[in-house]
Amino acid sequence: MRIVIAEDAAVIRAGLAEILADRGHEVAAAVGDAEALKAAVAEHRPDVAIVDVRMPPDHTDEGLRAAIAIRRDHPGTGILVFSQYVETRYAADLLRMCSGGVGYLLKDRVANVGEFIDAITRVAAGGTAFDPEVVSGMLNATRHASVLAALTGRERDVLALMAEGRSNSAIADQLVVSERAVEKHISNIFSKLGLPPSDSDHRRVLAVLAYLGS
Amino acid sequence: MITANDFISDNLTMTGPDQGSSSPRRRILRAPFTRRTWDELAYSAASLLLALGALIFIVPTLVNGLLWALSAPGVRKLGAASRFLVRELLDEDVPAPPQLRSIVSYKVRTQDAARLAGSVAAAGGKIRVWETKPGVTVRKLPLDRITELAAEAGITIDEVQPQSAALNWLAGRILDPTTWRTRAYFVLKTPIAGLSLALAGGLWLGGLYLLTFPAWWELGRGGPAGVNLTGAFLLVPIGAAMLLAAPWLMRGTTEADRWLVRTLLGPSSPAERIRALEESRARAVDDSAARLRGIERDLHDGTQAQLVALAMKLGLAREKLHGTGPVDLVRITQLVDDAHRRAIETIAEVRTLARGIHPSVLDNGLADALTTLAARSAVPVELVTDIPERPSAAIETIAYFSASELLANVAKHSGARHATLEAVHVPGLLRIRLTDDGRGGAYPVPDGGLRGLAERVRTVDGHVTIDSPAGGPTAVTVELPSHA
């Protein structure tokens, strides 16, 4: 994969580049602010841009705004937002803008190299990768609490894993149930939330998250 | 032998008009012999001398503005001396007024001078509209407040610059209300004190003379013309009455003086004081919010980033160990080495950060903390401390950070070869003073260390004085109240 990194902390930027290079990916550019990120994406046309939310000059949400701009100008680019904080609003913003090829991870996740690389691969392939903490933050912050209360405990577990971007078989492995059971739970969830049924993995994730984040 | 002290009971240091529970007659009879009377007499005499001296100093300096400015600290010292006399002899503790400080004003160039003047005046600022070109000079408002007001009113500001430091200094000294009130005090006080002392002295001496008149009559054999022996004895009760009246007359005039001291030498009206307190409270709140933001930023950009990077290295190393291919020990060793180095760097960073939040060296007092600080300084520092009593913890912390900031400045900018750090604590005031033999020319720039220092010191009503002529030497003095 061809990747552009935007991260203002030099140590993390170097660490990310090292991990990605180690796994044989091409780090086309590693920059420290949002403007440089937009320029680098326009120049290198990466598969994925890894974007830190807080960057100079204001250290607020420059990265996120740049990510949304990139998505508008270069729709094929996967966006993996990378933050030290759980900001469910940012995640919801991203979801409203993008239909797939998007992710939001806490920086801690990168310590588990395998999962991190999986997440990037999913995003590059047009899928989703949401941090479990971001997902649970969105589930907690949702205004649809009464609807969530209607879900059984197991259904909520499935919903959380689904929201992270896991496939049915991954959810089945994780919960030690059959894939058939997972499908049944999912169809229950969809009907309880009043969402139209959908087959594609990331589509249904987006539907759920957009609903929760709205 | 009966002394004055034997006559008085336990209410030795009463200051109010009530002298205790004894009957009015006894109080009148005892008055001439109470400690209080003697203190008041001593006060009248001492304060008259002081007032005369003060007038001799003040009157010639009223000639022009420059002399007003130059005499301001001296006038204030005379006011402090008066408060000292009142405290020691009249047992009345008049709090000191705020310290002398430069008045910071800003020169604002704008086409909309009149409208800006309106909004600034409404916000409590003082305005001078320029006559030759469009613009105003604003004082009593901080810069950000001025720009905020302009933005609210939709006024375009072409240029803002602070008034020159020399003008600020002059304005502060010329306009200082405390100095003017002190001058007024001495002008009013001198005639009152003179009259009071003359009257009281007259009553005392005259009373003594009349009380003992028969003796004088006897000595003089016939005495002053027209007074016979009976007449001489008749004068005795008059003398006694005068002696008894003298203390009350003096009490009356010292009461008047007390009132003058409270009104003119104490802090100004409560309303003004309240406004100053509101300002300093707002600054303190802003300051602590900014400090918390700074700490969060340091944690986010520094410590947390370091730890994430450390976790990445270890994560990669673990992948290599658990991987399917041959174990690349050289690469793994390199990763672990990197992680190890990063961990050590992080520890150092956390230590620095913790010291920035609360320097633990302060636990043993400011003197110890400053010793450590001076020892760490890149420029050799001679340390002089005289801190017999510890100031409050908040003041110690601000003093420590001030010293730390000043020493850092010396190392970074001054080119000095030697510096002296003094920390002196007298009752009510902690003074930190750093002098260096560097190139001078230090001044507070926006967002600079000195400006931040001054802001922080202001949150506790403290004061920073910078004396740094081009070419040096530089002396920066930070004055802090003992208790925040």
Co-location of A25 and A73 in the same domain = yes
Q: Do A11 and B318 touch (CB under 8 A)?
A: no
User: Domain ends where: A105, A131, A157?
Assistant: A131
Does residue A137 form part of some domain?
no
Task: Domain of residue A208: give its range.
Answer: 142-213
Does residue A150 form part of some domain?
yes
Does residue A31 form part of some domain?
yes
How far from the centroid of its chain's Cα atoms is residue B383's Cα? 23
Pick from A90-94, B306-310, B399-403: least confident = A90-94
Pick from A79-93, B23-37, B257-271: least confident = B23-37
**Cβ–Cβ < 8 Å for B99, B463:** yes
Residue B191 in tokens: 């005639």
Please tell me which residue of chain A has the smallest CA distance to B309. Answer: A12
Instruction: Tell me how far apart the alpha carbons of residues B132 and B252 are, in angstroms, rounded to a whole number.
Output: 55
pLDDT given for residue B20 in this prediction: 42
Instruction: Tell me how far apart the alpha carbons of residues B40 and A31 are, in angstroms, rounded to a whole number.
Output: 79
pLDDT given for residue A180 in this prediction: 92
The backbone torsions φ and ψ at residue B208, rounded to the nearest 5 degrees and listed phi first, read -60, -40
Give the mean pLDDT of B89-111. 80
Give the mean pLDDT of B313-340. 88
Considering only the beta carbons, identify the residue of B297, B309, B319 that sits closest to A113. B319
pLDDT given for residue B13 in this prediction: 30
Residue B335 in tokens: 């990763």
Co-location of A89 and A167 in the same domain = no
Q: Give residue-wise pLDDT tens across range B132-154.
A: 888 888 887 777 777 778 877 88
Q: Which long-range contacts (CB under 8 A, 24 or more apart) does A113-121 make?
A: A113/A19, A113/A23, A113/B312, A113/B315, A113/B316, A113/B318, A113/B319, A114/B319, A116/A19, A116/B315, A117/A19, A117/A23, A119/A80, A119/A165, A120/A1, A120/A3, A120/A20, A120/A25, A120/A48, A120/A50, A120/A78, A120/A80, A121/A1
Co-location of A37 and A66 in the same domain = yes
How many A-B residue pairs are in contact by the CB < 8 A criterion? 52
Give the mean pLDDT of B97-118. 81
Predicted confidence (pLDDT) at residue B9 exceeds the cutoff of 70: no
Amino acid at B451: R
pLDDT given for residue A31 in this prediction: 94
DSSP codes, B438-477: S-----PPTTSHHHHHHHHHHTTT-EEEEE--TT--EEEE
pLDDT given for residue B340 in this prediction: 93
Task: Output the CA torsion B423→B425→B428→B433 (10° steps).
Answer: -20
Q: Does B343 touch chain A (CB under 8 A)?
A: no
Co-location of A25 and A74 in the same domain = yes
User: Domain ends where: A111, A131, A151?
Assistant: A131
Count structural domains, chain A: 2
Co-location of A43 and A118 in the same domain = yes
How far from the centroid of its chain's Cα atoms is residue B137's Cα? 27
pLDDT given for residue B225 in this prediction: 55
pLDDT given for residue B18 in this prediction: 40
Q: Give residue-wise pLDDT tens across range B468-482.
A: 777 878 888 899 988
Does residue A204 form part of some domain?
yes
Does residue A98 form part of some domain?
yes
Co-location of A176 and A104 in the same domain = no
User: Domain ends where: A131, A160, A180?
Assistant: A131
What value does the mean pLDDT of chain B take? 82
Co-location of A126 and A78 in the same domain = yes
**Cβ–Cβ < 8 Å for B285, B459:** no
Predicted confidence (pLDDT) at residue B122 exceeds the cutoff of 50: yes
Q: Do A111 and B342 touch (CB under 8 A)?
A: no
Co-location of A20 and A71 in the same domain = yes
Pick from B92-96, B114-118, B139-143: least confident = B139-143
Does residue A136 form part of some domain?
no
Predicted confidence (pLDDT) at residue A130 exceeds the cutoff of 50: yes
CATH of the domain at A92: 3.40.50.2300
Tell how strand B159-162 and strand B105-109 pair up: antiparallel
Asked if omega into A57 is within 30° of 0 (cis), the reply is yes
Does residue A88 form part of some domain?
yes
Distance from CA of A108 to the nearest CA of B (A): 6
Q: Does B346 touch chain A (CB under 8 A)?
A: no
The backbone torsions φ and ψ at residue B21, rounded to the nearest 5 degrees and listed phi first, read -100, 0
Name the residue among B249, B156, B243 with its Cα closest to residue B207. B243
Q: Give residue-wise pLDDT tens across range B201-236.
A: 888 888 888 888 777 777 765 555 566 777 778 888
Q: Give residue-wise pLDDT tens across range A186-206.
A: 888 888 877 776 666 666 776
**Cβ–Cβ < 8 Å for A5, A27:** yes
Co-location of A163 and A105 in the same domain = no
Instruction: Tell me how far apart the alpha carbons of residues B279 and B404 are, in angstroms, rounded to a whole number.
Output: 26
Q: pLDDT-based confidence at A35, cuts 50/70/90?
A: very high
Distance from CA of B455 to the nearest CA of A (A): 23
Co-location of A146 and A168 in the same domain = yes
ipTM: 0.76
CATH of the domain at A164: 1.10.10.10
Co-location of A69 and A104 in the same domain = yes
Q: What residues in A contact B309, CB-CB < 8 Å? A: 9, 11-12, 14-15
Residue A3 in tokens: 């990747």
Predicted confidence (pLDDT) at residue B2 exceeds the cutoff of 50: no
Please tell me which residue of chain B has the smallest CA distance to A23. Answer: B316
Co-location of A149 and A111 in the same domain = no
Q: Does A111 touch chain B (CB under 8 A)?
A: yes
Does residue A171 form part of some domain?
yes
